[in-house]
Structure 1
Amino acid sequence: MADILSVENLTKTFKSGNRELTVLDNVSFDIEEGSTATIVGPSGSGKTTLLGLCAGLDVATSGTVSLNGIKLNALDEDDRAFTRNQYIGFVFQNFQLLPTLTALENVTVPLELRGEKGYREKAIDLLTRVGLGDRTDHYPSQLSGGEQQRVAIARAFITDPKILFADEPTGNLDEETAAQVEALLFDLNKQQGTTLVMVTHNLELASKTERILKIKGGKLVDDQKSVVA
């Protein structure tokens, strides 16, 4: 399998007053297409920063990120946004649904941005697959946290992304709901052959991916294959 994501000597620093803070320090790894991986580490270790750089949401201070053969650091902001819309799906801890749009409208947004047609049927199908076929006209405020995350998962998969980035996807959910959302995420990911890269504090969740990358103090300190159940 070819690598869909290549990270090479990635460093990210921020100015804090007169000090320079290094959040990521010379991180390198590759992710194979169709594989699943988790980035773990203590709070403040640089996990979410790393995920954002891999997804082209931010630009590294030095080093390179190549996604599907495209060097993200060589692109301007508009081209990075275009690349994200073409190849990437996102699932966030806080759902990030648009409050004034229904579940169905939230799911169709990425395809509307692409200018595609016939997306309504696809969105209804995905919402049905995540168990919300009867909630398509509900607004986020009318949905539970677990239901909102299901909408977010449907939205992430509607573009048939090559890679899905998930940042603490079950972090705001109770244990039972989290287990349901986990199963849904992995099932859809497997059905669609998507590459999954996830950030989580939950080591039990991390163990369900094929590979675990551990970040500590901004450095990659461990990279191991997981025994997926």
Structure 2
Amino acid sequence: MSDILVVQNLSKSFSSGNKTLTVLDDISFSVEEGASVSIVGPSGSGKTTLLGLCAGLDVATSGTVSLVGMKLNALDEDDRAYVRNQHVGFIFQNFQLLPTLTALENVTVPLELRGEKGFKPKGEELLDRVGLGDRMQHYPSQLSGGEQQRVALARAFISSPKILFADEPTGNLDEDTAHHVTDILFNINKEEGTTLVLVTHNMELAENTERILQIRGGKLVADRKSLTAS
């Protein structure tokens, strides 16, 4: 299989007064199509910054990111947004659902923004798959945290993304709910054959992926197969 994500000598720095803060320092790795990878490390280690650079949400100070065959640093903001819209799904810790839309409307928003038609049945099918077939017309305020994250999961898969970026997807959930959401995420991801890049500080969650990248102090300090990888 070919690589869907290639990170080469990636660094990210910020200026703070007369000082320069280096958040990521010369990181390189690649991810094959269909693989699942976790990025782990303590708070402040640069995990979320790295995820944002990989997804084209931000630009690096130096180094390159190639996503689905396109060098993101060579693209302007609009072109990076187009790449994300066409190829990328996102799951966030805080769900990021639109409060004025129903569960079904939240799920189908990405396809509506792309100008596609006839997307309602696919949204309904995905909500069924995450166990919310009877909650389609509920608003986020009428759903529990676990239910909101399952809506977010359905939304992430609605556009059949080639790669899914998940940032602490169970961070706001209790342990039992987190396990349930994790099972749904990995089951759908496997069924769809989507590449998964997951940021977490939870090693138990990380072991669900095939490979684990460990970040410490902005550097990549380990790259190993997970204990559960076959």
TM superposition score normalised by structure 1: 0.99
Tell me, in whole angstroms, the C-alpha distance in 1 between the residues paired with 2:54 and 2:206: 18
- What is the one-letter code of the residue matched to 1:157? F
In the other structure, the counterpart of 1:151 is 151
Distance, in Å, in 1 between the alignment partners of 2:181 and 2:148 is 10
| Shift, 1:18, TM fit | 1.1
Provide Cα deviations, 1:17-64, integer angstroms capped at 9, x if missing partner. Answer: 111100000000000100100000111000000000000100001110
Aligned residue for 1:97, secondary structure, equals coil
Residue aligning to 1:9 = 9
CA–CA distance in structure 2, aligned partners of residues 150 and 228 of structure 1? 24
> How many Å separate the matches in 2 of 1:144 and 1:50?
30
1:163 CA drift (Å): 0.4
Corresponding letter in the other structure for 1:127: L
The aligned residue for residue 66 of structure 1 is 66
CA–CA distance in 1 between the matches of 2:107 and 2:209?
Answer: 26
Following superposition of structure 1 onto structure 2, how do residues 25-40 of structure 1 map, counting pairs within 5 Å? 25-40=25-40
Partner residue in 1 for 2:127: 127
Residue of structure 1 equivalent to 2:78: 78
Post-superposition CA distance 1:100-137 (Å, at most 9, x none): 11111100110011111110010000001101111111
Match of 2:114 in 1: 114
* 1:191 matched residue in structure 2: 191
What secondary structure, in the 3-state scheme, does the structure 2 residue paired with 1:58 have? coil
For residue 208 of structure 1, report the CA deviation from its aligned partner: 1.1
The match for 1:165 is 165
Structure 2, unmatched stretches of 5+, are: none
Could you tell me which runs of 5 or more consecutive residues in structure 1 were left unpaired when the two chains were aligned.
Answer: none
- Identity, % of aligned positions: 76
Which amino acid is the alignment partner of residue 207 of structure 2?
A: S
Q: Number of matched residues?
A: 229
Query: For 1:85-100, what aligned pairs fall within 5 Å after superposition?
Result: 85-100=85-100
How far apart are residue 162 of structure 1 and its match? Answer: 0.4
* Distance of 1:91 and 1:209 partners within structure 2: 16
- Scaled by the length of structure 2, the TM-score of the pair is 0.98
**Counterpart of 1:47?**
47
1:206 counterpart letter in structure 2: A
Output the CA distance in 2 between the equivalents of 1:85 and 1:184.
23
Cross-structure match for 1:101: 101
Q: CA deviation at 1:227?
A: 2.6
